Amino acid sequence: MDSNAFSFSSNLFGFVAGGISVIVLVFGFCRSQLPSNKIKVLEELLDETQALFSSYAEEGYLPEERVKADFETRLARLRDKTLDLRFQVYRATTFVQDYTGFFTGLSLAIGRLCWQVKLLRANVISKSEIERLGRRDNVLLLRQLPFSEIGLPQPSDVLSHQADVILHPGEADLGPFVNPTNDIQATVSNANEGATVAV
């Protein structure tokens, strides 16, 4: 009898302790999902998305006006919805009213709006990163191209031209980006003409 009573007491204690643990976990989860807590998360997400959009727009990573106008419209719409939900949340002045909002779907509505803000934030970052990476690739491509393919004088031509200026200061064109081959051809032509006249 004593062993059976002890076993029963142990089982009862374990059952009660387990039930209390579950209640505490459920209570903690519900508390984190209360409208008064969820609205803070929503406002932080919206402010972060607005800051990212403004930063990328100022840096020129959103060059298309149509895309910027679409993002601005969506941000304004989400901010209006956030203000409406915040008004409903702040009307609750007691713990019971806060939980009432949770059970009536206010937290769910805030959660859906959080998802929409996250989606917009992801779109802003994606568009901006595509533009930023495109610019970086263009810069790298220009660095790898030969000088002649981007319309600039080649370093060897500039050095040859400088040497020609030093050797023949009276005949060479002093322009820093003039092709020295033209100067050499002109000098040879003048020499040939002089030889013909002398003959």
- Digit-coded pLDDT (tens) for 142-181: 566 554 454 554 544 544 544 454 444 444 454 444 444 4
For residue 47, is it within any domain?
Answer: no
Domain assignment present for 92: no
At 47, list the tokens.
């402010």
Looking at residue 86, what is its pLDDT? Answer: 93
Asked, for residue 108, whether it belongs to a domain, the answer is yes
Q: Which of the pair, 150 or 48, is modelled with greater confidence?
A: 48
Asked whether residue 135 is domain-assigned, the answer is yes
pTM score: 0.59
Residue 123 lies in a domain: yes
Name the percent of the chain lying above pLDDT 90.
Answer: 32
Domain that holds residue 136: 99-142
Q: Which two tokens stand for residue 130?
A: 């595509």
Q: Quick one: tokens of 181?
A: 């081959």
Q: How far apart are CA 92 and CA 71, in angstroms?
A: 32
The answer on pLDDT for 193 being more than 60 is no
Residue 119 lies in a domain: yes
Q: Does 118 fall in a domain?
A: yes
Q: How far is 117 from 104, CA to CA, in rounded Å?
A: 22
pLDDT in tens, 13-25: 666 666 676 666 6
Specify the number of domains making up the chain: 1
Question: pLDDT value at position 89?
Answer: 93
What sign does the dihedral 27-33-36-40 (CA atoms) show? positive
Residue 37 burial (CB < 10 Å; 0-12/13-18/19+)?
Answer: middle
Contacts 24+ apart (CB under 8 A), 155-164: 157/181
Angstrom distance (rounded) from CA 150 to CA 141: 11
Q: What is the 3-state secondary structure (H, E, C) of 161-172?
A: HHHHHHHCCCCC
